[in-house]
Structure 1
């Protein structure tokens, strides 16, 4: 069995690379700005399943680069999905809570109508729709607030800033489920194996960590577990302007992925502890 993964240098891709039967590709192997090259790679490798963990994820930068975002986040995954459909193999592509506008406070289900607020969310939604239009065993896994010991993410930024400051102002009116990249990787791995045997399970699924929390409280938990003496002052999103508008409600209803694949929501606090242990050398002991 062989799982082909696009996005080796990303947070989820780095975790998938550590699993058995996985071949991870980085940008030098297959550049998502060239969708046809991605399709040729699938043909050459002849895998049993394909997982797309690659994307243009710089949410603010994407606002000024919509054309490239559309190619990388929509056209390339769609071309992968078409190739996989032709080979009758599963294709899983990771998407985002940013396809929703964040209204209300109840968790979004996979059947809720998307309404993205920014270019990144729009490009990912275009990718979702194009993948599903290709037919076959195309599957979307929406997740949120990814963090790990790899690459750039909120937790690592807080560790750096927490060492440099005694107090930080952090947004508290955006609420969602922080999700360790390792758990997303395992969810993709489990789903890919199941879809090989039961392709009828293909569809859209949600997966995020629990309990739902705010960015401010995620920062507090990070400082607490890391032993950093940095206080957090809650602020509203309107006080922290960014080029891309973020949804206030990023809660995801993960009932369906548990019922269909037996995948439960991970406790992000446990994942945080594991990641901080890996990164221990990067911040001082107290």
Structure 2
């Protein structure tokens, strides 16, 4: 990220959209997804950032789930990898809800029939499903069995593999990249920044970088992200730098406006 300071200064300006993934980005990944929390130092900085510019959380979790973990009010909270919470997508959400309800029943039955490791479980996110197998006795073998089972049971679904998880989405569902583009239009943001950590974030990382700064947590040879942070610990100094730059620009704008007003007053 050291070589990206100039790009940061180029993109960052008041009114830009600052968007973040949740797990592995602003909250550490944990064995039990229900136990995930944003560390207080990160939370304080995100809350401060939201005071100066639009902030979005774009996550694989449901909107309800992630909203309970934020303790501040971002401009946008988009869940289910871009399917839930997008302005104007309410009718599509109902279609996805019905589809995933049927898939849930089918996958539960198939996992019983195939005797999948009992530690593998399905998370019902209403508009999408996630099958977690992090705690399986043999994660690699369980991964292979689950991949075959999912392809055979819900062949029309879109499968996005994550870290010890299969995310199962309707094939026509918007992805995180489409969600970010729509949110930028809705917010009227000329520029944007996005930070994520997983393959599910690549749809954002692969967008044109002209007015978008993309950052991955931890480097990866196959990522399309423009820059990377060494690990989640690097998030704190990055957010501090981001806040400092925004405050400097807002102060400069205030001085310019005050000067312009002073010059127009009659002497």
TM-score for both structures, normalised by structure 2: 0.32
